[in-house]
Structures are given as C-alpha cells and as structure tokens.
Copies of this chain bind each other. A is one copy, B any other.
Amino acid sequence: MQKRDDKKREAIIAAAVKQFSSRPFHEVLLDEIAAAAKVGKGTVYIYFSSKEDLYDTIVLETFDQLLAELRRLADGKANAWSVLSEMVRHLMRWAYRNPHFYRMIMQSVSDRVKPSLVRKRKDLGDVFGIVLRRGIEEGDFEDSQPLLTAQYIPACVRASVLYGPVKLEVDEAVEHLLSFLESRLRKGQQL
C-alpha cells in the first residue's frame, strides 16, 4: 500500500503555483495541474477538496508563512531602521526567489475578491506598519501616515518584480526601495 505522500502534495502545489501565477484562476485547468504534477486528476482531490481549496490553501499557506517570517523580523530588538531594512530585503528576496508564488499571492487579491485574501494583503502591509510606528515612537522616523507608507512597500516590491527593468538585480531593487523609505522616514536624521 502506498503511503500518503507529502512529496505528492508538494508536487501538486508546485505545479499549481506555476499555473496559477501565469494565468487567472478560471483559465487554469485541473487537467494541466495534474499533468504537470505527474499525478492523476483524482489524486489532486485526495489532497485538496476542490480546485478552489487548492488555490486558497496555497495562497493562505504561503502568505501565512511569509507573514510569519516578516513578523519574526519585525520583533527584532535592533533599531527600527535596521529592522525595516531587513524586512524589505527579506520580502524582495523572497519575491525574486519565488516569482511564481509572489505573482500568485499578490494577484490573488484582485483575481478573486475573497475577503480573507484581501485581509491577508492588508496584513502584509500592516506588518511593516508595526515597525514604522515603533520608529516614530522612538523618534527615529517621521511620518503622518505610517499605515499608508507601510502599504507602499509591498506595492513597490510588486512593481519591481512585475514592471521593473529586466536586468535589475534583487539587491539593487532592495537598495533602491530602501533609499526611498529612508529619505522619507528619516528626513530629520539626514541633516
């Protein structure tokens, strides 16, 4: 008897991510996912209850994992700017390393207007908001709308990945975005 195999689940997720990130939900065929994962179509239904469940599971799991990593960084003891830098670097690297995943989770919001997904996207911004606020409290940052600035960050990362210059290196992208944030947030400091 074969054992329930997490490798198979991962293969399905990997195949699905590739499909979902390059085409909208309704254009992705389960046949294709199964074929790409080299499993039977029925196998997909052993691990996920529906195509929608497969999609949501991927987005939510991925989002949650990414959020957890960012939250861990956000809890760092270093000064706000160092922490923020690390977080931006982490997010950008993650996005460059997992372009499929990133496209998928970032477009999941517009692609399918699920409240749970919109909330997640907001959470992604808000995790940066935490650090921005701390920086302000500590007199390190200056910003009248930290929650709005926080939302800019994933938005700019998205713009970098999707529309940025083709040959842009990830670390260049990080530095560029950080320079914007620094200028804006640490106005006073710079003088």
Contacts and interface: CB of A to CB of B under 8 A. Distances in A.
Contacts of A191: 191
Interface stretch (A5-13, A56-64, A152-160): A152-160
Given A149-B180, A187-B183, A24 B156 contact: no
Interface string A144-175: 11011101101110111011110010001100
Contacts of A121: 162-163
Contacts of A180: 149, 152, 180-181, 183-184
Interface stretch (A78-86, A93-101, A110-118, A131-139): A110-118
A121 B156 CA distance: 14
A106 interface: yes
A165 B152 contact: no
Where chain A touches its partner, the secondary structure class is helix
B110 A176 contact: no
Given A109-B162, A155-B158, A148 B122 contact: no
Given A26-B25, A110-B107, A145-B176, A163 B151 contact: yes
Contact of A110 (B24, B154, B164, B165): B24
Interface of A: 22-27, 103, 106-107, 109-113, 121-122, 125, 144-145, 147-149, 151-152, 154-156, 158-160, 162-165, 168, 172-173, 176, 179-184, 187, 190-191
